[in-house]
Amino acid sequence: MSPARAGARKIVTTILLWAAIAFIGGLFVVVALPRVAGGQSMAVLSDSMSPAVRTGDEVMVRPIDAASLKPGEIAVFDDPDGSGRALQHRVQWVSSEDGRVRVITKGDANSAPERWSVPAGNEVGRVVARVPKAGYLLGRMDSPWFFVILVAVPSLLLAGSLLVSIWRAPEEDDESWVAR
């Protein structure tokens, strides 16, 4: 292999390695950091908050006391219809009375608001950040294929590449490996 070709190969390998490190670091920031800070991240499953938050975005959610919600914020709460889904809609109105916090929310793209309430002191979520389109990938993290495609395959390719470079016989005209 010519020195120019070997140099180009080394540059490409270095770029790919740093890209993989940046990608894994980005996943850590999006998934693990919110949990370390007491929150969570979640994939957005509908366009009800479009254009502010779109399907496939990943949002970082911080738990707060329901009474501290303010109009204009995006709250995360259990769907009042009892389906168990978590909704992410904009707060329209908040009131505390009779030991309950009453809230009216509405998705930016929806025509009808939701009215819901929780006991005073209960926590709900507040959306504090969003990462566009990251939910498409991160929403698949529960799948065993996610591990295989994103972790196992690149690890095996990297290990194979390293083994080939270790075991590859030096070329005859390359005497840089000889101790002097």
pLDDT in tens, 66-87: 999 999 999 999 998 888 889 9
CB neighbour list of residue 134: distance below 8 Å, 6 or more residues apart: 30, 56, 57, 58
Q: What pLDDT is stored for residue 175 in this prediction?
A: 58
CA distances from 123 to 13, 15, 135, 147 (A): 48, 44, 24, 33
28 pLDDT above the threshold of 90? no
Q: What pLDDT is stored for residue 1 in this prediction?
A: 63
Q: What is the DSSP letter of 68?
A: G
Q: Which fold has domain 40-155?
A: Umud Fragment, subunit A (2.10.109)
Q: Report residue 173 CA to chain centroid gap.
A: 49
Confidence of residue 3 (pLDDT cuts 50, 70, 90): confident
Mean pLDDT of the chain: 84
The packing angle between helices 153-167 and 3-27, to 10°, is 150
Backbone angles phi, psi at 8, to 5 degrees: -65, -40
Q: Which residue has the tokens 């969570």?
A: 40
Tell me, what amino acid is at 96?
Answer: S
- Could you state, in order of their start, the residue ranges of all structural domains in the chain? 40-155
